[in-house]
Chains A and B, each alone.
Chain A
Amino acid sequence: MSFRLELRKVSYRHGENTILDSVDLTVPEGGVAIVGGRSGCGKSTLLELCAGLTRPQSGAVLWDGDDITVMSRYELYGRRRSIGYVFQGYALISNHSAFDNIALPLKCGGDDLGSETIEKRVRALMGELDIGRGIEKRFPEALSVAQLKCVAVARALVNEPAFLILDEPFSGIDPVTAKMIAGVLRKRWMGGGMGILMATHALGVWPELAAQRFMLGGGRLEPAATAFARVRDLKHDRRYDHDDAR
C-alpha cells in the first residue's frame, strides 16, 4: 500500500485573493509533511486541493503520478478510498451515531466486509482512541469537542488508508487528548508506512520524526526553517535599526 502525493505549480484564487501561488509540494510514500501558517493563510484550502475537494485554477495534483484534477467524479470516488481525511470542523454525519460514523467508510466503502468484521475494527479503533462504549450510541450534537475529534480521527483511520490528511487535528482540545491522538497517528505511521499531510499550528509535533515542515503565507509554501530564519533576520534588522535610531 503506497501513496505519493505531489502538487505541481498549483495556483488557487478566491475572487481577487490569491490563496496559493504556484505551489509545489511532494510527500513521498510513507512521508510526513506538516504545514503551518497564520489563520486564514490557506492551509485548509491546500488540504482540500490535495484531496480533490477543490479544483485549482492551474497546476496539477498527482496521486501516484495520476492527475486528479482531470479525473471524473466516479473515478475520484474509487481513488479516494485509499485516503483518510479529518476536517477541522469534524464533519460527522449528523443523523448517525458515533459508532455508525466510524463504521461508515467500511459500510459504504466497496469491500464486502461482514458486520462482525466491521464491528471488530470499529471497536479496536474506539479502544485505541479511548472512545468509551457509553458514547458510541450518541449523536454528534451530544459529544464534546475532544470526543468529536477522536471520532473524526477514528473514521479517517478505520479503512486503513495509505495516506492521511489532517486539518488542525489538535486544535481546541486538551493536551492529554491531543497527545493521545498524536500517539495513535504516530503508531499507525510507524506500523503501516502511511503518508501524512497535516495542517496545524503545533508545528513542533513529532520532533523525533523526519517530517517535512512548511510554512504557508502570502500564497507561498516554504520550508519552515527558511521561514523562521527569515523572520529571525527581520527581527534582528528591526532591532538593529531601532538601536541605530536611538
Chain B
Amino acid sequence: MLKENAKRGLNRIASGSWKRFAGLWRTACGMAGLLFDTVYAAFRKGRTPNLSLMSQINRQILYTGVEAFWLVGSIAVLCGSAIILVAMFNMPKIGVGEYFGKILVIALVDELGPFVTSLVVVGRSGTALAAYIGTMRVSREVDALEVMGIDPIQFIVQPAFVGIVASVVCLNLYFITIAICGGLVVAWLLTGVPLGIYFGRVLDALQFRDVAVSLLKSVAFGVIVALTSSYYGLSVRNVRMVPIAAINAVVGSMFFTIAVNLLLSVGYYVL
C-alpha cells in the first residue's frame, strides 16, 4: 500500500513537473512573441502616434522608480552594511584581506545590485502591472482600445516596458551607490574602521566593465519583469484570474531573472 502510494506520488510529481516545464516553455515563447510585438509596434510603418505616451511613461517611472526610492535605499544600506561588515572581519582571517574591494564590487555591483532591485520592482510593480492589465481586460478596456483602432501593445505594454526598464536601471545605480557608501558609513559608525582606506580600495577595484555588466543585467531584468507582468496580465480572461496573474507574474519574473542571471554570468565568466 505504502509502496503504491509512493509510486503514485512520484508519478504525480513527474507529470506535474512536465506540466510545469511545458507551462514555462509556453510562457517563454509567449514572452518572446510579446517582445517582438512591442518592438514591432514601435517601429512598424503606419503606426499611430500616441500623444499620451510620454505622460504614461512618466507615470510608470513615478510608480516603479520614484516611489521605490526609500525602500531600495533602506535595503541597500542594510545589504551593504551586512556584506561590508562580514567582509571586513572575515577576509583578513583567511588571508584575503587585500581583495576586499574586488569582493565588494563582485557582490554588490555585479550581482546584488541588479538582482535585488529587480526583486523589489517585481514585488512592487510587476504584481501591480499584471493586476492592472488583468483588470483592464476584465472591464473590457483592452477591447475598447482595440475597437478605437488603438494597439493595446502600443498603449499599455510599451509605456510600461520603457518605464520599468528605465526605473530598474536607475534604481540599480542608486542601490550600488547607497550600498557602498551607506554600508561603509554604517561600518565606520559601528566599528570605527578607517573609512577613507576602505573606500579607496573599493574605488580601485571598480572597473568600467563591472558597471557595464551591472547595467546590462538591470536592462535584461527590467525587460523580463515588464514582459512577464504584461504577458500574464494580458492572459487574464475573467476576474478570478486577476490574482493568479499577479502570482504568476512574481513567480515567472523571479524564475526568468535567475535563469538569465546565470546565462549572463556564464557568458561573462566562462565564454
Also in contact, A108 and B51, with CB within 8 A (given A77-B149, A80-B147) = yes
Q: Does A51 contact B (CB under 8 A)?
A: yes
Q: Which residues of B contact A105 (CB under 8 A)?
A: 148-150
A245 to chain B, nearest CB (A): 48
Task: A85 to B136: give the CA distance in the assembly, Å.
Answer: 17
Q: Does A12 contact B (CB under 8 A)?
A: no
User: A91-99, A127-135, A206-214, A231-239: which lies at the B interface?
Assistant: A91-99
Task: A94 to B150: give the CA distance in the assembly, Å.
Answer: 16
Q: Which residues of B contact A81 (CB under 8 A)?
A: 148-149
User: B68-76, B118-126, B138-146, B214-222: which lies at the A interface?
Assistant: B138-146
Q: Is the CB of A91 within 8 A of B141?
A: yes
A60 to chain B, nearest CB (A): 19
Q: Is the CB of A74 within 8 A of B146?
A: no
Q: Which residues of B contact A74 (CB under 8 A)?
A: 44, 46, 151
Q: Which partner residue on chain B sits nearest A77 by CB separation? A: B149
Task: A6 to B253: give the CA distance in the assembly, Å.
Answer: 45
B9 to chain A, nearest CB (A): 34
A210 to chain B, nearest CB (A): 27
Main secondary structure of the interface of B (DSSP, over half): loop
Q: Does A3 contact B (CB under 8 A)?
A: no
Also in contact, A91 and B155, with CB within 8 A (given A81-B148, A108-B51) = no
Task: Tell me the B45-60 residues at the A interface (CB within 8 Å).
Answer: 46, 48-52, 59
Q: Is the CB of A110 within 8 A of B149?
A: yes
Q: Is the CB of B52 within 8 A of A89?
A: no
Q: Is the CB of B52 within 8 A of A87?
A: no
Query: Which residues does B use to contact A, with CB under 8 Å?
Result: 44, 46, 48-52, 59, 135-136, 139-141, 143-151, 155
Q: Which residues of B contact A109 (CB under 8 A)?
A: 48, 148-150
- Excluding A74-B151, A80-B147, A85-B148, 17 further A-B contacts by CB distance (< 8 Å) are A48-B143, A53-B147, A79-B149, A83-B147, A87-B143, A91-B143, A91-B144, A93-B144, A94-B139, A95-B59, A100-B52, A104-B52, A107-B51, A109-B48, A109-B148, A110-B49, A155-B148
Q: Which residues of B contact A174 (CB under 8 A)?
A: none
Q: Which residues of B contact A78 (CB under 8 A)?
A: 46, 149
Q: Which residues of B contact A104 (CB under 8 A)?
A: 52, 148, 150
Query: Which residues does A use to contact B, with CB under 8 Å?
Result: 48, 51, 53, 73-74, 77-81, 83, 85, 87, 89, 91-95, 100, 104-105, 107-110, 112, 155
Task: A100 to B52: give the CA distance in the assembly, Å.
Answer: 10
Q: Is the CB of B50 within 8 A of A108?
A: yes
Task: A15 to B249: give the CA distance in the assembly, Å.
Answer: 29
Also in contact, A87 and B140, with CB within 8 A (given A74-B151, A104-B150) = yes
Q: Is the CB of B147 within 8 A of A107?
A: no
Q: Which residues of B contact A95 (CB under 8 A)?
A: 59
Q: Is the CB of A92 within 8 A of B52?
A: no
What are 10 residue pairs bridging A and B, where the CB atoms are less than 8 Å apart in the complex? A51-B147, A74-B151, A80-B146, A80-B147, A81-B148, A83-B147, A91-B143, A93-B145, A108-B155, A109-B150
Q: Is the CB of B141 within 8 A of A77?
A: no
Q: Is the CB of B136 within 8 A of A53?
A: no
In the complex, the 7 A-B pairs of residues with the closest C-beta atoms, listed nearest first:
A91-B144, A81-B149, A80-B149, A107-B51, A110-B48, A91-B140, A85-B147
Residue from B52, B59, B136, B140 in contact with A108 in the complex, judged by beta carbons closer than 8 Å: B52
Q: Which residues of A contact B145 (CB under 8 A)?
A: 93
Task: A233 to B91: give the CA distance in the assembly, Å.
Answer: 97
Q: Is the CB of B150 within 8 A of A77?
A: yes
Q: Which partner residue on chain B sits nearest A95 by CB separation? A: B59
Residue from B52, B139, B140, B151 in contact with A77 in the complex, judged by beta carbons closer than 8 Å: B151
Task: A34 to B51: give the CA distance in the assembly, Å.
Answer: 36
Task: A80 to B144: give the CA distance in the assembly, Å.
Answer: 11
Q: Which residues of A contact B149 (CB under 8 A)?
A: 77-81, 105, 109-110
Q: Is the CB of B144 within 8 A of A77?
A: no
Task: A121 to B228: give the CA distance in the assembly, Å.
Answer: 39
Q: Is the CB of B148 within 8 A of A87?
A: no
B167 to chain A, nearest CB (A): 18
Q: Which residues of A contact B141 (CB under 8 A)?
A: 91-94
Q: Which residues of B contact A83 (CB under 8 A)?
A: 147
Q: Is the CB of A107 within 8 A of B148?
A: no
Q: Which partner residue on chain B sits nearest A165 by CB separation? A: B147
Task: A78 to B151: give the CA distance in the assembly, Å.
Answer: 10
A43 to chain B, nearest CB (A): 15
Q: Which residues of A contact B147 (CB under 8 A)?
A: 51, 53, 80, 83, 85
Q: Is the CB of A53 within 8 A of B146?
A: yes
Q: Which residues of A contact B48 (CB under 8 A)?
A: 77, 108-110
Task: A74 to B47: give the CA distance in the assembly, Å.
Answer: 9
Task: A83 to B150: give the CA distance in the assembly, Å.
Answer: 12
Q: Which partner residue on chain A sits nearest B56 by CB separation? A: A95
